[in-house]
Amino acid sequence: FRLQFPGFSIKDIIKVQRELLEQLGVTRIASVIGGSMGGMQATEWAIDYADITDSIINIASPLAAGPDAIGYNLIMRMAILNDPDFNGGNYVGQPEGGLATARMVGMMTYRTSELFSKRFERFTVAESSPAAFSKEHFQIESYLQYQGDTFVERFDANS
């Protein structure tokens, strides 16, 4: 289906999960636990099905995205959409450049500046040169490149 697949929301996902639980005969949920998008789902369970949900544990997800998160999400989407290999969502091979770039941007939003400073400071990669523009010079660059490279092996750009 690629980008022809109809759009859906967290609320839609929860509705399908609820229907599945009904089919399985589950009438009560002790706890819904989720991180990131799963945390958003946990919160939606508490909102839409409070009568059968005893508790939730929302890990690292907001009740709603703020303007900064919406802006970063746009930048990440545009990195994917503008990758020529994305081909309007009708790609055969993974659009790795755009997806890796989107992941690198995302990684910068998952931690605070203080945490990055504590972990990486301005440490350099062994045997690197700041004059080599196409190579990682700082450890933070190497970290981000690694995150982008490994992400494209686990996720599809249309997901």
Note the pLDDT of residue 80. 96
Q: What is the mean pLDDT of residues 19-25?
A: 98
pLDDT in tens, 94-125: 899 999 999 999 999 999 999 999 999 988 88
CA distances from 93 to 103, 152, 157, 158 (A): 18, 11, 10, 12
Alpha helices in 25-112 (DSSP H): 37-48, 67-81, 96-109
| pLDDT tens profile 74-99 | 999 999 999 999 998 999 888 999 99
Whether 45 contacts 56, CB under 8 Å: yes
The pLDDT value given to residue 124:
84
Report which residue type is found at 122. Answer: R
Say how many C-beta atoms besides its own lie within 10 A of residue 106's C-beta: 18
DSSP per-residue string spanning 2-59:
GGGSPP--HHHHHHHHHHHHHHHT---BS-EEEETHHHHHHHHHHHH-TTTB--EEEE
Q: Is the pLDDT of residue 152 over 90?
A: yes
Residues 32-49 pLDDT 10s: 999 999 999 999 999 999
Task: List the domains of the chain with CATH numbers.
Answer: 2-59 (no CATH), 67-154 (1.10.1740.110)
* Whole-Å CA distances, 27 to 50, 51, 132: 12, 10, 61
